[in-house]
Amino acid sequence: MGKFADRYFGVNPWLITEKGFDPAYGMVAESVFSLVNGHMGLRGYFDEGYSGERLQGSYVNGVYERREAAHQHYCGVPDTVEFMVNAVDWLRTSITCGGERLDLYTSDISDFTRTLDMRTGELTRAFVWHVNDETDIKLTFERVLSMEYPELGASRISWEVLRGVEAPDVSPEIEFSDYWDVEKTAAAPDFRALTGTTRHTKQTLYASVSYRRSESALTRIAHISRVSPADRGALIRHTYNGLRSGSAAWWRSQWAQSDVEIDGPDDDRQGIRYCVFQMHQTNSGRGRVVVGAKGLTGEAYNGNTFWDTEIYCLPFYLFTNPKAAKSILRFRRETLNEAMERARELNLNGAFYPIATISGRECCTLWQHANTQLQASTAVAYAIWHYTMITGDDGFLRGPGLEMLTEICRMLAARGAYDPITGEYGYYGVMGPDEFQLMVNHNRYTNYMAKKTLLFTLETLRSVGAEETEEHRDWRQKAEAMRAGYDAQTLLYEQHDGFFRLPHVDVASIPAEEFPLYNHWSYDRIFRNDIIKQPDVLMFMFLYSSEFSLEQLAANFDYYEPRCIHESSLSPSVHSILACRLGRVEQAYELFRFASRLDLDNYNRNTSEGLHTTSLAGGWMNIIYGFAGLGSGGGQLSLNPALPDCWRRLSFPLKYRGRLLRVEITHEGTDVRLESGPPISIKLRGEDYSVPAAGE
């Protein structure tokens, strides 16, 4: 896979640390030190400004602008794009002393440290500013976003004159980005309020900040709201320390319910905690949440959400914070109308969920993806099934869930066709998860997921006592006729009709400098051989792993894995999990190697653009589904642990249908306990196992 660590940050089980500032890592550090509380996000940018390369990003969940797409018009391809918009910089501070303005790109500083404490969610930065021959000043910057009150954030800048007599002048400012029309509604020495409105989407944001100054410190409490402004009185009730304590308490509770403890190398310990920390930051379960490809930590992919959210991120939330899981589904329910409108644009019935979206409308302007990938729609259906199975929340399924499922099935029944020779049903002109195979017929993933969606919907309809209609019979007929493309002799699924007859390219023979292929191979060349970008057949074998035997898995793994170049950050995790299942633990650990540290060690060299949110989730899945061998098929939890040699112990909690379970795995054995909730029986290494209640 040819990926190598670029280690810059200190390794510590609970802290991310930076000692000494290297401008070359400026934007990587901005991403890594992002603070997010579900509602808003701040990259780790410098309050005082910075004349070097930076992305001074401050974002609010669900706030976006719109622009025209730059391409020739095609029917069914969107002409406009919506993107997460940089909002308001309320940390901005002018710091001057001796006629110089502080700027870490040009100022003379020493003893720089920056620390993100994952136990409290606080980011701290300190350094000594050598203003001139007579003056040295120590500056400390602290910031926190409240996990209790998501519309609140706080910052404290304090200073100490170490040498000389001149104190710095520290002046707070506040500014919206250029995308906004801004109105100042209040301005006093200790209070500022602004109202910003996006020019095209006309979304409003109310920003209010109160300031408290002393001789050696400036504290701010900011209120950033989509609903209403805050007055000074509402803000001065809060203190920096108070908000920090509240957040620390929230984090204590979260860690108790989701910490993944590894007794092994510190970089693995830090890596998985960073994944868990950022996943909670991205979505704490309040309100409707758009989980963008970069969360609220950068602008790449326009802040849009993809099907990866339902497939890779949802499991983390299902087992650690079901409310957060539900907020993801709620976004899809609230944008069902847009998905139905999208189906009309594609000359279909029902609902076609967008490949990339922030508002519910399709924002992918590449027809070869936007019009041919059905996996956003089948992922929503899968997520409803998965959510129901893990949380037991039948109410959601029978209400909003069934509404979505019904419209997705209508689309699936409209988009497919019967093979004129065999009479089998399936999808023509599609692109499956493997984006290296374009406009193919009967992609197995698409067919398989569609069949599962149709059958689950029919089963749900029956369970709520719905009468079987002509339409339902049509769905059943199509599900039953769905082309499987399975060869009982070889146990192989052919990725699509004709895949086995594509010219073979030996992936190992491709020179390292030709990766990533998108940058070095003519676009069409990528699509005309048997190289695959990421799991496709192996993907549905992972999602429904209880339905396939180890022999079937082994046959397909051995066929597809060598053809996969993992040109997606999500690909190795799935392969690693399947390798665990096949008992190939060392290959699994090799594939896992960077899954949990993709951003901390900047493996893909693009962490500067923002964190790989879904890969962070993949790191968690890799451990829990892979090394712990979690399974949930057939309505029962199962564990098949297989630790790498260098881990002595793996311990984590799991929420499951109103219970909190604790799993402890060593090379000697596995211990599962109930911390709360009613008794339960699980499968442990294939054997029934009654989990003892807490204290038993």
Cα separation values, 688 from 216, 354, 370, 634, Å: 63, 42, 45, 13
Question: Based on CB atoms, which residue is closest to its own copies, 78 or 641?
Answer: 78
Sign of the alpha-carbon dihedral angle for 233, 237, 239, 242: negative
Distances (CA, A) of 318 to 200, 279, 403: 36, 12, 21
Smallest gap from residue 201 Cβ to its own copies (A): 23
Cβ proximity to its own copies: between 214 and 519 the closer is 519
- Of 197, 245, 359, 441, the one binding its own copies (CB under 8 A) is 441
According to the binding rule CB under 8 A, does residue 80 interact with its own copies? no
Residue 515 engages its own copies in binding (rule: CB under 8 A): no
Torsions phi, psi for 565 (to 5 deg): -100, 5
The answer to whether residue 511 forms part of the interface with its own copies (CB under 8 A) is no
Q: Within the chain, what is the greatest distance between any pair of CA atoms?
A: 90
Strand-pair partners of 222: 153, 209
- DSSP H/E element including 340: helix 336-345
Query: How would you class 447 by CB atoms within 10 Å of its CB: exposed for 0-12, middle for 13-18, buried for 19 or more?
Result: buried
**Dihedral angle of Cα 162, 164, 166, 172, to the nearest 10 degrees:** -20
**φ and ψ at 66, to 5 degrees?**
-135, 140
- Distance from first CA to last CA of the chain, Å, rounded? 47
* DSSP character string of 513-582: GG-SHHHHS-GGGGGSSS-BSS-SHHHHHHHTGGGS-HHHHHHHHHHHGGGB---STTHHHHHHHHHHHT
**Selected range binding its own copies among 362-370, 394-402, 622-630, 664-672, rule: CB under 8 A:** 362-370
Is residue 521 involved in binding its own copies (CB under 8 A)? yes
Stretch that binds its own copies, among 157-165, 200-208, 515-523, 641-649 (CB under 8 A): 515-523
398 vs 574: CA distance, rounded Å: 31
Give 167: exposed, middle or buried? Use CB within 10 Å, 0-12, 13-18, 19+. Answer: middle
List of residues 6+ apart from 54 with CB closer than 8 A: 26, 27, 30, 45, 46
* Residue ranges in 602-661 that form contacts with its own copies under rule CB under 8 A: none
Residue 182: CB atoms within 10 Å: 16
Tell me: does residue 70 bind its own copies (CB under 8 A): yes
DSSP result, 238-266 = --HHHHHHHHHHHHHHHHHHH--EEES-H
Shortest distance in whole angstroms from residue 507 CB to its own copies? 15
Residue 346 lies near its own copies (rule: CB under 8 A): yes
Which residue, 418 or 544, has its beta carbon nearer to its own copies?
Answer: 418
- Count of residues interacting with its own copies (CB under 8 A): 44
Per-state percent for the chain, helix, strand, coil, to nearest 5: 35, 25, 40
DSSP letter assigned to residue 499: G
CB within 8 Å of 503: residues ≥ 6 apart: 528, 529, 530
Q: Please list, in sequence order, all residues whose beta carbon lies within 8 angstroms of the beta carbon of residue 176, skipping any fewer than 6 positions away.
A: 87, 88, 89, 182, 194, 196, 205, 207
**Residue 511 CB, nearest distance to its own copies (Å)?**
12
497 near its own copies (CB under 8 A): yes
Q: Using the rule CB under 8 A, is 503 a contact of its own copies?
A: yes
Of 72, 214, 489, 549, which one interacts with its own copies (CB under 8 A)? 72
- Is residue 371 a contact residue for its own copies (CB under 8 A)? yes
Q: Nearest distance from residue 560's CB to its own copies, in Å?
A: 16
Question: Any contact of residue 112 with its own copies (CB under 8 A)?
Answer: no
- CA neighbours closer than 13 Å in the CB half-sphere of residue 192: 24
Does 67 sit near its own copies (CB under 8 A)? no
CB closer to its own copies out of 23 and 429 = 429
Nearer to its own copies, 395 or 429 (CB): 429
In angstroms, the CA 351 to CA 342 distance is 7
Q: Which of 15, 217, 455, 502 binds its own copies (CB under 8 A)?
A: 502
User: Which is closer to its own copies, CB of 436 or CB of 589?
Assistant: 436
Residue type, 678: P
Which range binds its own copies by CB under 8 A, 238-246, 272-280, 413-421, 571-579?
A: 413-421
Q: How far is the CB of 366 from its own copies (least distance, A)?
A: 7
Q: Is 586 exposed, middle or buried (0-12, 13-18, 19+ CB in 10 A)?
A: exposed
Q: Interface with its own copies includes 341 (CB under 8 A)?
A: no
Which value, to the nearest 10 degrees, does the dihedral of the CA atoms of residues 144, 145, 151, 154 take?
Answer: 10
Q: Which of 417, 455, 507, 693 binds its own copies (CB under 8 A)?
A: 417
CB closer to its own copies out of 280 and 483: 483
Under rule CB under 8 A, residue 500 binds its own copies:
yes
Could you say whether residue 375 binds its own copies (CB under 8 A)?
A: no
Please report how close the Cβ of residue 70 comes to its own copies at its closest, in angstroms.
4
Stretch that binds its own copies, among 17-25, 64-72, 167-175, 539-547 (CB under 8 A): 64-72
User: Based on CB atoms, which residue is closest to its own copies, 345 or 590?
Assistant: 345
Min dist CB 503 to its own copies, Å, is 4
Between residues 78 and 271, which has the closer beta carbon with respect to its own copies? 78
Least distance from its own copies to the Cβ atom of residue 527, Å: 5
What contacts 473, CB < 8 A, 6 or more positions away? Answer: none
Q: What is each CA distance from 63 to 192, 224, 226, 345, in whole angstroms? A: 22, 12, 9, 25
477 in contact with its own copies (CB under 8 A): no
Residue whose CB is less far from its own copies, 341 or 345: 345
Per CB under 8 A, does 347 bind its own copies?
yes
Q: Does 439 bind its own copies (CB under 8 A)?
A: yes
Strand partners, 42: 35, 58
Closest distance between its own copies and the C-beta of residue 368, in Å? Answer: 8
Residues between 528 and 567 with contacts to its own copies, criterion CB under 8 A: 528-529
Among 14, 149, 367, 689, binds its own copies (CB under 8 A): 367
Shortest distance (Å) from residue 411 CB to its own copies: 13
How many other C-beta atoms are found inside a 10 Å radius of the C-beta of residue 420? 6
Binder of its own copies out of 501, 512, 551, 678 (CB under 8 A)? 501
Residues 418-437 that bind its own copies (CB under 8 A): 418-422, 428-429
Q: Least CB distance from residue 474 to its own copies, whole Å?
A: 16
Give the residue, chosen from 86, 203, 372, 388, that forms a contact with its own copies under the rule CB under 8 A. Answer: 372
Q: Nearest distance from residue 67's CB to its own copies, in Å?
A: 13
- Phi and psi at residue 536, in whole multiples of 5°? -130, -70
Q: Closer to its own copies by CB, 4 or 518: give it.
A: 518
Task: Give the amino acid at 121.
Answer: G
Distance CA 696, CA 167 (A): 62
Q: Which is nearer to its own copies, 515 or 544 (CB)?
A: 515
Smallest distance from the beta carbon of 426 to its own copies, in angstroms?
10
Binding site for its own copies (CB under 8 A): 70-72, 74-77, 345-347, 366-368, 371-372, 417-422, 428-429, 438-439, 441, 497-498, 500-504, 518-525, 527-529
